[in-house]
Chain A
Amino acid sequence: MCDSCGCNITPGNEHLVRADGKHAKTEDGRAAVTVLQALLSENDHQAAHNREHFDRRGVLALNLMSSPGAGKTSLLEATIEALGQELGIAVIEGDLETENDAERIRAKGVPAIQIATGSACHLDAHMVHDALHRLDLSGVDILFIENVGNLVCPASFDLGQHRNVTLLSVPEGDDKPAKYPVMFRAADLVLCTKADLLPHMPEFQPERAEGYLRNLASAAPFEILSTRPDGDLSPWIQWLRDELHAQRARLELGRTIRPNIQKDGERQHAASTQGTHEHHHHGQHGHHHAHSHG
């Protein structure tokens, strides 16, 4: 990523990266080129554009992640019932196959675009971008992106969302954050779902699940809820209202935010900008800085 603006070029390695200059040689005469580029820079670039698109439309974009069957779609159905009269909601659904989830959302009167990923185990920024071409965002306040049910791969791909919400359902066991640290570290909010099953599963201790989350150095709120009719959704609904309010305040200041996880590209960048060389704000590099302000 940093290679595009040249900010990782220092007087010490400049000779290695100049396309027209002499290269450092290995012992057997090959040219050695220092790159220091984030491997997912293509995806991150598209994600930055998606985020700009959301910000221009005044939309708060939330990425919902969990294992399959943790209750993402049920949570969205209950959320639409609670907030659908008051706020504009749209949904992008990711699954390997079927339109089932999108149909469940549409039945609640909310626009939903289904992305069938085929064999891909996660959504990426390009898939979301394609889906956005089919989705009218006018009047939409919150866009939920329901990722493919998977606690591994989705955590590695920025989609352009503002926040990550990770669900952990009671039947999965309370040690999931310890087993899948990459996923839970990426969460801005962890929802412990299917709380109605807690009386039947005493082996699941919410305090222990939250303890494993804190071991990941995460300060993300941990909320316990159930989407059953007698369940309490209020912490989630309040979080959504607060995030929407925060998003509007940011937009007024011309700022944006990305999920509460620092990517290697940014750290690389931070390290190199502490040096003595000049760098210029343009292109992708410019977005990059804007995103770290939130």
Chain B
Amino acid sequence: MHELSLCQALLDQVEQIARDHGATRVDRILLRVGPLAGVEPMLLQHAYPLAAAGTLAEAAELVIEPSGVRVRCSDCDAETDATPNRLLCGACGSFKTRLISGDELLLANLELTIPDD
């Protein structure tokens, strides 16, 4: 439900970066979003055109790259895959794990049209 406000935050950042680079248009935006970020990629895709209307990024392609859930165990030091509601160590079953991937909400990369660059 907060995807529209997230899009607005995204566009503020994107437009700032585009201006810093003297770009006239943003062509592609790459986000990296983990399943534990609390963001639904489909909703973000739907909200994007509404938020982007009238900005430098109006025509940009929004690409959302999902990231996997990975944990590192404090007991056995193994690094294993996990699922959003089962973050236990895949090797020894301990719950003393640390999430190393899966809650990202990152603006990773932009493609810009920059005149005379």
Contact = CB atoms under 8 A, between A and B. Distances in A.
Q: Note whether A and B form a binding pair.
A: yes
Contact of A32 (B104, B107, B109): B109
Interface in B72-117: 84-88, 95-100, 103-114, 117
Q: Is the interface of B mostly helix, strand, loop or mixed?
A: mixed
A19 B87 contact: no
Contacts, number: 131
A109 to B, nearest CB: 34
Given A23-B117, A35-B107, A153 B96 contact: no
Interface in A77-128: 120-122, 124
B103 A263 contact: yes
Interface residues of A, number: 47
Contact of A39 (B9, B97, B112, B117): B9
A215 B106 contact: no
Contact of B112 (A33, A36, A181): A33
Given A39-B10, A182-B38, A217 B111 contact: no
A222 interface: no
Interface residues of B, number: 46
Contacts of A157: 2
Contacts of B104: 264
Contacts of B2: 120-122, 153, 156-157
A51 B101 CA distance: 26
Nearest to A214: B95
Contacts of A227: none
A31 B1 contact: no
Contacts of B107: 35-39
A23 B99 CA distance: 34
A56 interface: no
A246 interface: no
Contact of A41 (B13, B111, B117): B13
Contact of A268 (B37, B87, B95, B106): B106
Given A33-B21, A153-B2, A217 B71 contact: yes
